[in-house]
Homo-oligomer: A and B are copies of this chain.
């Protein structure tokens, strides 16, 4: 579930290990290039935290962020998470 925090749409994704986390990050990277909308994101081993906000709109959450969030969720197949 994406949460709104400090004018950002935030979610933490947890994987089995680092390489699964990084394979997910690679897919997110492709999406964000396509949308030309890049996240503020961080990783520690099997955890990836993504924070979305629109700089051009004064760092508020816009439709762009909500659309990207939806596309990121589509990447997460059950096998990544159980």
Contacts and interface: CB of A to CB of B under 8 A. Distances in A.
Contact of A23 (B18, B26, B45): B26
A49 to B, nearest CB: 8
A8 B82 CA distance: 32
Interface string A71-82: 000000111100
Q: Copies per complex? A: 4
A18 B32 contact: yes
Counting contact residues on chain A (CB < 8 A from B), the size range is: 20 to 34
Interface string A27-62: 101111110001111111100000000000000000
Nearest to A82: B77
A20 interface: yes
